[in-house]
Amino acid sequence: MSTLQLPALDTLIKIGQSQINEFRKNGHILTRNVLNGDEVECYRSVINTAAYKYNTEKRALEERDTYGKAFLQVMNLWEVDEYMKKFTMARRFAKIAADLLGVEHVRIYHDQALYKEPGGGLTPWHQDQYYWPLDTIKTITMWMPMIDIDEQMGMLTFASGSHTSGFVENIAISDESEKKLEHHIKKKGFSITRPQLMNAGDATWHYGWTLHSAPGNSSIDTTREVMTIIYFADGAHVTKPENEHQEADRQRWLCGLEPGSLAVSPLNPLVL
């Protein structure tokens, strides 16, 4: 497939003020039909090809830990695949991210395919920004299934309002994070919400500090195909890493920029 044959994703979708208010109150929102059927068909093929080509997880499910059972995770596909670059750099997605955050310009942190295999385990409660050495709360993840999914296939699940807690626990995705963060959610009284159904091309968006999880994929033979893109507001700075994962991210996704530097490495292009 030639790059020129892929649909351009430059046409913009207007996000209403009520949606923006809902996002900022709850820390997450669902937007329908971000991609149309033809766009999904084209880009699903591109994403699947790249995700399986660059996937390095070869162990059987039963040989993996909780994190490994949660999903096949393939990161920064735009960096190695010219077709994926067109998807990840799409102005349509970036404009929604910027509007929800209330900023003029956003940069890419990284993209990632998150494929939950049939029989794949739960994704424990966690905060994405635990991993990110950035000095801004204006971070957001787009989570887009490339097939129709329901609650039994590993639907993303949110603790509404939990972004207001900020950095809750210095803990990575694990059995321990599931236990400690679930306790925090109950203590704070955050309501648990998730869509019953999402169609291919719909997308959820959540702040970096929004607590979220996903049940296992109980389907017999269908992989939950999801593509995500993480954005942050232009002007953010690199912070001193607070854990080994933030240091790894500083080296990998921020190209080793020193704490205090503007987060403008070659892997953080301005997309809007």
DSSP per position, 64-115: S-HHHHH-EEEE-GGGT-HHHHHHHT-HHHHHHHHHHHT-S-EEEEEEEEEE
In angstroms, the CA 150 to CA 131 distance is 28
Residues in the chain: 272
In angstroms, the CA 117 to CA 37 distance is 23
Q: Is the pLDDT of residue 3 over 70?
A: no
Output the six-digit token pair for 29: 């929102």
Give the angle subtended at the CA of 154 by the CAs of 151 and 159, to the nearest 5°. 80
The set of residues, in sequence order, having a beta carbon less than 8 Å from that of 39 and lying 6+ positions away, is: 7, 9, 201
Q: Is the pLDDT of residue 1 over 90?
A: no
pTM for the model: 0.95
> What confidence tens digit (pLDDT) does each residue in 16-71 have?
999 999 999 999 999 999 999 999 999 999 999 999 999 998 898 888 988 887 77
Give the chain's domains with CATH numbers: 25-252 (2.60.120.620)
What are the CA-CA distances from residue 158 to residues 43, 51, 143, 237, 268 (Å)? 27, 25, 12, 27, 27
Region 96-103 average pLDDT: 98
Question: What pLDDT is stored for residue 203 in this prediction?
Answer: 98
Question: What pLDDT is stored for residue 69 in this prediction?
Answer: 79
Three-state DSSP class for 236?
A: coil
> What confidence tens digit (pLDDT) does each residue in 205-261 have?
999 999 999 999 999 999 999 999 999 999 999 999 999 999 999 999 999 999 999
Output the six-digit token pair for 233: 């507001």
Nearest CA to 173 out of 76, 67, 251, 269 is that of: 67
Cβ(12)–Cβ(95) under 8 Å? Answer: yes
DSSP per position, 175-217: HHHHHHHHHHHHHHTPPEE--SEE-TT-EEEEETT--EEE---
Cβ(187)–Cβ(84) under 8 Å? Answer: no
Question: What is the percentage of the chain residues whose pLDDT exceeds 90?
Answer: 93
Cβ(139)–Cβ(92) under 8 Å? Answer: no
What are the CA-CA distances from residue 232 to residues 35, 136, 144 (Å)? 22, 8, 18
Q: Is the pLDDT of residue 4 over 70?
A: no
